Amino acid sequence: MSFPDTVTSLIKVKVPHRLGITLCSKRYLLLFLLVVSVVVVADAGRAADRVKTHDPELDALSIQGLSIAWPLDDTPVGMVALAGGEFIFGSSTRQKELGYLLDDRYAQSPPYASRKQRWYDDEASARVATIHPFAIGRYPVTQAEFKQFIDVTGLPMPDMTQAQWKAQGLVHPWERVQRYRWKAGRPSMDRGDHPVVLVDWALASAYCLWYGQRLVQHAPEFAGGLTFRLPTGAEFERAVRGISGRIFPWGDQFEPGLANHVYYVAGVRQGPFDTVPITAFPRDETSEGVRHLGGMVFEWTATPWPSHRIWEPGEAYNPHTADPVLRKAQTLFRDDPVKALEVLRSGALRHEVRGGSWDDLPGITRGSARHSRPSPLRHILLGFRCAAVPQS
């Protein structure tokens, strides 16, 4: 029964005189309000799961077939090579509204803060963009992988004091941070295969420089051919959405619980509310085989914020030519990692963050969603993965 039919049927109901007009009016008014609320909630729920059909902004876009293949014979271990060329980038008005509807539907008490504060309004407008081919990490960098980096370079491990945590002004209590802290120079024994967190932008960037140098030592065929760094915001979006601009990493249809995010059913929180091994949530995967782009942890990108004040969103951006701080750090890193880290920490004050986290509602799992964080931030929701870009 449609909403108008429901209202009409309620209006036509006759009130039995023997019950008293006051009592019956209240009873039927309560019934009317109950039915209306159920209809409204159900309709919002259906809207929250709709796909991008008959979207005028997206229907007007078309890919002309320009594709640039990954130019090397091999792909670095642990990475997925993605073709460059044209792809659908940015968000339509309907896709932004879909994000708000998803958050409201699965929130504990809607309307959720994302709608109140218009979180998704800053997403780039939908367009056909171009990008160079690149490779991206199949998974976020894990605690165990990061430990190898710390052991070799002697750079700071992911840890902090209670005073440092509170100074960041985050909502998560200090007690919740304990499971992510490193103790005695190592992560908890049962978290080696979890994504590493409590890493600021500079330390994440330093890891990618180190990973590239280590890879060349073991696979000299990549020497001089690849640049390793954090992915740009556009590269991350291309990895999530493919060429055609799918809404979520797995496709256009939303289903709660496919990714590691929070959602509520009858007021009860669902989801792990924690990082988990990177082999978990196998359906949070793109058709190209990249995992955990919709949930698990937010991820640092190479993109300073706000990107549209520096270059047009979606334009092929090479931080090693556009960011002198990163170029200088790359030169220094092999001989003096500590000095290189200092240089990286002198760069942009904020950077774009992509993906979704274990503590966020599903509106953020959309591939076009983006926001920013202060570059020095060390958060239990924030990790990273690396990208490799052919230097030619």
- Here the CATH number for the domain that contains residue 71 is 3.90.1580.10
Burial of 88 (0-12, 13-18, 19+ CB in 10 A): buried
Same domain? For 43 and 127 the reply is no
Same domain? For 141 and 184 the reply is yes
Same domain? For 71 and 44 the reply is no
State the alpha helices, DSSP H only, in 219-309: 233-241
Q: Which letter does DSSP use for residue 124 in this model?
A: P
For residue 343, the enclosing domain spans 56-390
Please give the pLDDT value at position 222.
85
In the chain, beta strands by DSSP E: 67-68, 79-82, 84-89, 127-131, 134-137, 226-229, 263-265, 268-270, 298-304, 350-354, 371-374, 382-383, 387-390
What pairs with residue 82 in β-bridges? 134
Same domain? For 79 and 96 the reply is yes
Burial of 355 (0-12, 13-18, 19+ CB in 10 A): buried
Please give the pLDDT value at position 4.
35
Cβ neighbors of 386 (< 8 A, separation 6 or more) are: 79, 136, 137, 141, 207, 208, 211, 212, 228, 229, 230, 231
Same domain? For 347 and 220 the reply is yes
Please give the pLDDT value at position 2.
36
Same domain? For 234 and 253 the reply is yes
Please give the pLDDT value at position 27.
56
**Of the candidates 25, 48, 71, which is a domain's last residue?**
48
d(CA 80, CA 83): 10
Same domain? For 117 and 201 the reply is yes
Q: In what order do the strands lie in the sheet with 387-390?
A: 79-82, 134-137, 387-390, 226-229
d(CA 271, CA 4): 37
Unique residue bearing structure tokens 């190209």 = 288
Please give the pLDDT value at position 348.
87
Kind of pairing, strands 298-304 and 382-383? parallel
Question: CB atoms < 10 A from the CB of 114, how many?
Answer: 21
Q: Which helix (H) or strand (E) holds 209?
A: helix 201-218
List of the chain residues with pLDDT < 70:
1-53, 306-317, 392
Q: Peptide bond preceding 376: is omega within 30 degrees of 0, i.e. cis?
A: no
Question: CB atoms < 10 A from the CB of 3, how many?
Answer: 13
pTM recorded for the entire structure: 0.85
- The per-residue b/e assignment along 259-290, b for 16 or more CB within 10 angstroms, e otherwise, is bbbbbbeeeeeebeeebbebebbeebbbeeeb
Same domain? For 44 and 60 the reply is no
CB 233 within 8 A of CB 77: no
Please give the pLDDT value at position 44.
47
Same domain? For 11 and 113 the reply is no
Backbone angles phi, psi at 270, to 5 degrees: -115, 160
Same domain? For 139 and 3 the reply is no
Please give the pLDDT value at position 308.
54
d(CA 353, CA 233): 8
How many distinct structural domains can be found in the chain?
Answer: 2
Tokens standing for 336? Answer: 């003096």
Same domain? For 34 and 176 the reply is no
- Tell me the per-residue pLDDT of 1-46, one tens digit each, with 9 for 90 and over: 333 333 333 333 333 433 344 444 555 555 545 544 444 444 445 5
Same domain? For 216 and 261 the reply is yes
CB 133 within 8 A of CB 83: yes
In 122-265, beta strands by DSSP E: 127-131, 134-137, 226-229, 263-265
